[in-house]
Amino acid sequence: MKIATCVAIAVAVLAATALAQAPTAVRPEKHSENTGEPTYEGRIEGDTIEECWVIPSLPFADMGNTCGFADDYEEMCPYGSNSTDVVYSYSPPYDMCVSISLCDSYYDTKVFVYEDQCTPGVPYACDDDNFACVDPPVSYTSWLEEVEIFAGHTYYIVVDGYGGQCGDYVLAIEEIDCSGPCDVICVGVPEGEPTCYDGYDDQYNGGCSSLTWSYIPAGPGPFVVCGEGGVFDYGGATYRDTDWYLIYPCGGVPISITVEAEFGVLFGFVGGVPECTAPGFVSFAFADECTPGTLTEYLPCGSFAIFVSTDSWDPAYACGLEYSLTVEGYTEHCDPTPVENMSWGRVKSLYR
């Protein structure tokens, strides 16, 4: 179930390697549509924490260009950058929750936050690519959707980029109501995979990443799987726990999957399995944490996988977060290669 850091699942077809590679290996090419000259010549303030732009109150919005600054700070979340950066600071008058957005920027951005001082390698919050940005002008912009900050502390917001890129940014910070604890109650069949952890060698239910599978049994009623997701470190790279469930539809009827998770979730139908020569999404969808999302497809006769994973490689997605997967409409099994009928418990035992 492990998948490394480099999948931009905003395309209809993905190769198996794109679903499985580590961030230190090949990653999807990211282009910045604007990497021009500095917008404000001679702008020195904002170059470092010591010379940062001070935010007086919220809501706050600012526009600028990072190209005229130095590369002073760097955080992996999960990608490296080597890009020039600009720094802002804010000292909240009371405890609050804020949204920090670079969604409307014009280059491949990254944003991270330090509390009280620069803490290399351990930022207070960090985001590179947030695909929840609504209609961004370019791809791969950043958004920290919920960050809790506290009175008596100063928070340094660093506007950064990916891969040496710089350009025009639009920073928007506002106070929001943080959602309460997300708790998914699932009543169904346990997925059965051990909870991941840093150093976890994921060889369970990894589909085209590990050539191990779980199966969804056909039947007249909905089938519910209770699974887990999360992000972990393995061999110095960031991976996310992914689950692949094989189905063999007969075609002609709609099959629906509904996922509710304690994390932002990516889910969909994948073709090109189980051979994994060229796996790719037939369709996919995203859903916010604790918000059910549903996807329906009229799949032809053949073999397909249901894919469930976190929507990013955010380290805040701690291992052990739960989800519920409900499959409806999968009433008949038409595997072109005959397989032995097995109970769900027996199938699971093959992958323990």
How far are the Cα atoms of 105, 150, 154, 157 from residue 172, in angstroms, in the given order? 10, 19, 18, 11
What's the rounded mean pLDDT across residues 293-306?
Answer: 97
Token couple for 135: 């209609």
Give the rounded distance of the alpha carbon of 349 from its chain centre. Answer: 30
What's the rounded mean pLDDT across residues 41-61?
Answer: 85
Query: What residue ranges define each of the domains in the chain, with the CATH number in brackets?
Result: 6-25+182-349 (2.60.120.380), 53-176 (2.60.120.380)
Q: Give the CA dihedral 327, 330, 336, 339, nearest 10 degrees.
A: 70
pLDDT of res. 99: 96
pLDDT tens profile 247-256: 999 998 999 9
What's the rounded mean pLDDT across residues 227-242?
Answer: 93
pLDDT of 342 above 60: no
Phi, psi of 286 (to 5 degrees): -120, 155
pLDDT of res. 337: 59
Token couple for 211: 């050539």
pLDDT tens profile 256-298: 999 999 999 999 999 999 999 899 999 999 999 999 999 999 9
Per the CB < 8 A criterion, the answer to whether 242 and 2 are in contact is: yes
pLDDT of res. 329: 97
Per the CB < 8 A criterion, the answer to whether 32 and 138 are in contact is: yes
Q: Which long-range contacts (CB under 8 A, 24 or more apart) does 173-176 make?
A: 173/55, 173/58, 173/59, 173/60, 173/61, 173/90, 173/98, 173/99, 173/100, 173/101, 174/58, 174/59, 174/60, 174/98, 174/99, 175/58, 175/59, 175/96, 175/97, 175/98, 176/97, 176/98, 176/99, 176/146
Average pLDDT across the chain, whole number: 84
Give residue 15's pLDDT band: very low, low, confident or very high (50, 70, 90).
very low
Per the CB < 8 A criterion, the answer to whether 273 and 304 are in contact is: yes
Contacts of 196 (CB under 8 A, 6+ apart): 1, 2, 202, 228, 230, 232, 241, 319, 320
pLDDT of res. 44: 61
What's the rounded mean pLDDT across residues 230-236?
Answer: 92
pLDDT of 132 above 80: yes
Of 41, 42, 35, 17, nearest to 27 (Cα)? Answer: 17
pLDDT of res. 28: 35
pLDDT of res. 197: 94
pLDDT of res. 13: 30
Per the CB < 8 A criterion, the answer to whether 246 and 342 are in contact is: no
For the entire predicted model, the pTM comes to 0.57
N-to-C CA span, the chain: 13
Token couple for 76: 């992996």
What's the rounded mean pLDDT across residues 323-346?
Answer: 73
The DSSP bridge pattern shows strands 223-229 and 189-190 to be parallel
137 or 42, which is more confident? 137
Tell me the percentage of the chain whose pLDDT exceeds 90: 70
Give residue 325's pLDDT band: very low, low, confident or very high (50, 70, 90).
very high
pLDDT tens profile 157-200: 999 999 899 999 999 999 998 877 789 999 999 999 999 999 99
What's the rounded mean pLDDT across residues 326-337?
Answer: 89
User: 40-49, 91-100, 201-210, 262-271: which has the minimum mean pLDDT?
Assistant: 40-49
Per the CB < 8 A criterion, the answer to whether 83 and 71 are in contact is: yes
CA dihedral (106, 317, 28, 120) positive or negative: positive
Of 31, 30, 43, 70, nearest to 158 (Cα)? Answer: 70
